[in-house]
Amino acid sequence: MMHWQDADSIFEVRLQALQQNYLMLQGRASTADCAAVVKADAYGLGVGPVSKALADVGCASFFVAHVEEGIELRSVLPDVTIFVFHGVAERQVSLCVEHRLVPVLNSLEQVGLWRSVDAPAALHVDTGMERLGVPFDQVERVEGDFVCVMSHLACADTPEHALNQLQLERCLMLRERFAGIPLSVANSAGIFLGEAYHFDMVRPGCALYGVNPVLGMHMMQPVVRLVSHIVQVRSVEAGASVGYGGDAVSEEDRRIAVVPVGYADGYLRALSGKGLVSIGGVTVPIVGRVSMDLITVDVTGLDAGLQQAGQEVELLGEHVLVDDVAHLAGTIGYEVLTGLGKGRFSKVYI
Ligand SMILES: *Cc1c(COP(=O)(O)O)cnc(C)c1O
């Protein structure tokens, strides 16, 4: 793996904001425990430093998607509970046991496979998402002992959606069927659906990382700050186009700054002609298409002092919110973070 210590761009993770987001969610969750979902390298932020910072403020349960992610997390945090959403295949049973990972069993087959294993497991029941989990109508056939029963909400970010109520009713039935076993239902958005959805453990992901889980909400603190620097500024005459395709033409003369971040860094190409960055606290637009390694921004209106090579450019942070970037790209904050998290940036933890 290459190192980017001298990179033009820095992916800053503000661990204190992360911790404050965790404590806020834990406070919202009333009596339920607050776990943390750190799959996909903690949504691109880096599973090791993120998980340690969360454990430092009391988080004791973590969820990953894959067994391999669980093994990586175990090497960082020897004492926490690590759940694996995707469950376990036969070839992974011994790895789970060795690294004390708790698989979330998603089918009657997985439940059967684990019955001969003397180690804890969780159970996922599908109450309406129609994705992973034992179908709700097969619950009576489940036999076994579990440390946690979970389900996942399909429409938690849309509070008025009828599916929430149906899933809630089924979860209440699960609580009877698996009396005495901790029940976990709410993701980030589910926490904001209200206390009825909290049960015994909530498991937020995106909100920890500064994504507001419900449209129009502004409660989460930005955690990631992505900053780069202008590598070159050029004058573009009226009528001349900028970048690939030659369609970004203006009737005015412009000053165009080139910034060394592109779609190969997870800066979505859908932001072509739409994205915004902040320079010296002023928001300026992306002009033309996002290239693999570069974007071009219009700095015409900025003070001359800001139109300089070396000038800092914020692509994500306090002035450029992840939710706004996602909206402009026609996607969700999760995709923005997981994409940029794999970019050619040096990651810095503050
Ligand atoms: C990813 C995931 C979560 C976390 O969801 P957020 O919306 O990021 O809070 C919770 N539960 C399951 C099953 C997941 O796959």
Per-residue pLDDT reduced to its tens digit, 124-147: 999 999 999 999 999 999 998 999
* Position 277 confidence tier, pLDDT thresholds 50, 70, 90: very high
N residues, the chain: 350
pLDDT of residue 169: 98
Residue 243 · residue 289 · CB < 8 Å: yes
The three-class DSSP label of residue 270 is helix
End-to-end CA distance of the chain: 22
Residue to substitute in 21, 26, 28, 37 for testing ligand 1 pocket (most ligand atoms within 8 angstroms of CB): 37
What's the gap in Å between 234 CA and the centre of ligand 1?
44
Q: Provide, rounded to the nearest whole percent, the portion of the chain with pLDDT above 90.
A: 97
Q: What SS3 state is found at 295?
A: strand
Beta strands in 127-238, from DSSP E residues, in sequence order: 134-135, 148-150, 183-184, 201-202, 224-229, 232-236
Residues in a beta bridge with 278:
283, 314
Q: Residue 7 has what pLDDT?
A: 62
CA distance 253 to 115: 72
Whether the per-residue pLDDT at 2 is higher than 50: the answer is no
Beta strand 232-236 pairing with 254-259? antiparallel
What's CA 348's distance to the chain center, in Å?
Answer: 18
pLDDT tier, 8 (very low <50, low <70, confident <90, very high otherwise): confident
Report how far residue 148's alpha carbon sits from residue 65's, in angstroms, rounded to the nearest whole number. 16
| Model pTM score | 0.96
Cα–Cα distance measured from residue 204 to residue 347, given in angstroms and rounded to the nearest whole number: 23
Q: Confidence class of residue 44 from pLDDT cuts 50, 70 and 90?
A: very high
Per the annotation, the verdict on 52 as an active-site residue is no
Give the integer Cα–Cα distance in Å for 205 and 64.
10
Ligand 1 closest atom vs CA 43: 8
Regarding beta strands 254-259 and 295-298, do their DSSP bridges make them parallel or antiparallel, or are they unpaired? antiparallel
Strands (E), 38-80: 61-64
pLDDT digits (tens, 9 = 90+) for 165-177: 999 999 999 999 9
Q: Is 100 exposed, middle or buried (0-12, 13-18, 19+ CB in 10 A)?
A: middle
Q: How many CA atoms lie within 13 Å of 273's alpha carbon, on the beta-carbon side?
A: 12
Sheet holding 295-298, edge to edge: 232-236, 254-259, 295-298
Render pLDDT for 188-246 as a digit per residue (tens, 0 to 9): 999 999 999 999 999 999 999 999 999 889 999 999 999 999 999 999 999 999 999 99
pLDDT band with cut points at 50, 70 and 90 for residue 4:
very low
Side by side, the strands of the sheet bearing 276-279 are: 282-285, 276-279, 312-316, 224-229, 10-13, 346-349
Band the pLDDT of 30: cuts 50, 70, 90: confident
The chain-wide mean pLDDT, for the chain, equals 96
CA of 161 to the centre of ligand 1 (A): 18
| pLDDT value of residue 1 | 41
pLDDT digits (tens, 9 = 90+) for 101-114: 999 999 999 999 99
List pocket residues of ligand 1, CB cut-off 6 Å. Answer: 37, 39, 85, 152, 187-189, 203-207, 213
Q: Are 244 and 293 in contact (CB under 8 A)?
A: no
Looking at residue 243, what is its pLDDT?
96
Q: Is the pLDDT of residue 3 over 70?
A: no
Whole-angstrom CA distances from 186 to 128, 262, 326 are 14, 35, 23
Distance 16 CA to ligand 1 centre (A): 22
